[in-house]
Amino acid sequence: MKMAALDEPKSLFDLKGWLIYFNLLVDMVVGFSRSGKVCSSLLSRTNESLLEKAVLALEDRYFYSHKGVDFRCFYRVLKQVLKRKKVGGVSTIEQQFVRTVLNRKERTLGRKINEVVVARLLWFHLSKRKILISYLGCAYYGYRLNGSDAASQTIFGLASDQLSLEQSVFIASLLVYPLPKTIKADLTGSENNIQRILEHARNKAPFWACNVERRMNYGINLLSNVK
């Protein structure tokens, strides 16, 4: 997915230019969400799937209570900086969706600010569930795996709305630890199970296998405590 890049206003004080710029970015993201480019079995469901629950548990637990930007994250970032830890886990689903559609991956303050502004504006144009399903339908899960259906079909031979709890948490874990090419090459669709995949990966990609297993256990524990 490649969207045409927009030039930012040259002056920080060009308010009209910035308004036009951000409106164009929002139009690009909303247009993508409403286009036929988002093909997902999740669209046919009226209730929340296990995959959606798994992704929210791992990526954005306050998704339905914030408006595109979770200000609790700023406190978490401050703590990480003060403790000299790696800064991470601070993007909402909206921000991740914006980043994916606009294909902006550079690690700059400017990109993050743009992301936050557009994510906040999305709240006025799309429903929360539409944003979530649109993101899952285009997110990157591994080598040549864009979209939750592509990932779930390749790995388990199932549509993403048919996954079990464990399978859902596995797919959700790939948003942070994408499936490596070396592991994908050995998959056999419906014959796969999670333990077999991880067992195989411990030889070819041990670091990836360890991280995915740890994130899976964390996600399953979170979901098991949800009543």
> What mean pLDDT is predicted for residues 155-166?
93
Burial code (b: 16+ CB inside 10 Å, e: under 16) for 142-160 equals: beebebbbbbbbbbbebbb
Q: 51 near 172, Cβ under 8 Å? A: yes
List the CATH code of the domain at 15-224.
1.10.3810.10
DSSP 9: P
pLDDT at 1: 56
- Among 63-77, 106-120, 159-173, the range of highest mean pLDDT: 159-173
Q: If residue 20 lies in a helix (H) or strand (E), which one and from where to where?
A: helix 15-34
Q: Report which of residues 141 and 7 the model is more confident about.
A: 141
Q: Where are the domains of the chain?
A: 15-224
pLDDT in tens, 13-43: 888 888 988 999 999 999 999 887 777 888 8
Q: In sequence order, which residues have a C-beta less than 8 Å from that of residue 20 and are 6 or more positions away? A: none
3 state SS for 83-139: CCCCCCCCCCHHHHHHHHHHCCCCCCHHHHHHHHHHHHHHCCCCCHHHHHHHHHCCC
- 140 band by pLDDT with thresholds 50, 70 and 90: very high
Of the CA atoms within 13 Å of residue 208, those in its CB half-sphere come to: 23
Residue 7 has pLDDT above 80, yes or no: no
Question: What is the model's pTM?
Answer: 0.88
What is the DSSP code (8-state) at residue 175?
T
Give the residue, 36 or 159, on which the prediction is more confident: 159
Token reading at 58: 């791992």
In this prediction, residue 83 carries a pLDDT of 60
Q: Residue 74 has what pLDDT?
A: 65
Looking at residue 10, what is its pLDDT? 77
Name the residue with higher pLDDT: 59 or 76.
59
pLDDT given for residue 55 in this prediction: 97
Give Cα separations from 221 to 54, 62, 81, 215, 218 (angstroms). Answer: 11, 17, 27, 10, 5
pLDDT at position 181, please? 93
Mean per-residue pLDDT, 74-99: 72
Q: Say whether pLDDT at 98 is over 80.
A: yes
Banded pLDDT at 89 (limits 50, 70, 90): low
- How far is residue 202's CA from residue 167's CA, in Å, rounded to a whole number? 18
Average pLDDT score over the chain: 87
